[in-house]
Amino acid sequence: MRDFVGIDLAIESVPDATTLLGFRHLLEKHALTQRFFEEINAHLAEQGLFMREGTIVAAAPSTKNKAKQRDPEMKQTKKGNQWYFGLKTHIGVDAVTGLTHKVVANSANVADVTMADALVRENDKRVYGDAGYTGMWKHLDEEKDAPDSKCCIAAKRGAIKKMDDSPMKTLLLAIEKSKASIRAKVEHPFHVIKNLFGYRKVRYKRLAKNEAQLFTLFALGNLVLAGRCSGLTDGANAS
């Protein structure tokens, strides 16, 4: 990071920890990291990098904070055979470019589907999600089987496995594969945040502090991804 911003510790003075802490608190108090996230997204939208065709919703849990202490605002939840304690990051991702347009942090025990309304844009034509978002139409004020419903949720694997081999099962598997190929874009921001930026555990107590950091991380993650998807959107605009 020092190399990136051009700081040479041998010849330059740098802010001490207290100054940095005060600056972080200032960002949190005035929600400036969210503004930072919104301004970057507005700039990317001007470049045609938000297509408004649809949104992919997803959530990723985090574990205990660095000090391994329990946080009164964070609860535990079980996913499969694994227990998680801490924060869950819910994001809405553009279905064409894979850029994150919504970020919400909540306790790990908050059901993914209840956050659907906070992650969907008003003019999205389609909303994609995994089986954890079954019932999302209720939170978007839609009818389950409405012909104009924009909800496109993955079917539960168990239900398809129980079906006898038939043309119908083959068709459903093909449909699920198509939906999964679109939903895969939601993993790209998490890859950048977790693997490139090394963010795998929450650093602070309290949801607000961690959410403030997440806005910055996903804003910078969008800049990383923007270069990769610019060629895709140029082709889309040309067509």
pLDDT of res. 166: 87
| Segments making up each domain of the chain, as ranges | 2-233
pLDDT of res. 144: 72
- Which H or E run includes 55? strand 54-61
pLDDT of res. 64: 52
pLDDT digit string, tens, across residues 45-73: 988 888 777 888 888 776 554 445 566 66
Q: What are the φ/ψ torsions at residue 59 (nearest 5 degrees)?
A: -145, 145
Show the low-confidence residues of the chain (pLDDT under 70): 1-2, 4-5, 62-85, 229-239
Q: State the pTM of this model.
A: 0.78
How far apart (Å, rounded) are the C-alpha atoms in residues 210 and 190? 16
pLDDT of res. 141: 83
Residue 114, burial from CB neighbour count under 10 angstroms (0-12, 13-18, 19+):
middle
How far apart (Å, rounded) are the C-alpha atoms in residues 129 and 178? 13
Q: How many CB atoms lie within 10 A of CB 50?
A: 19
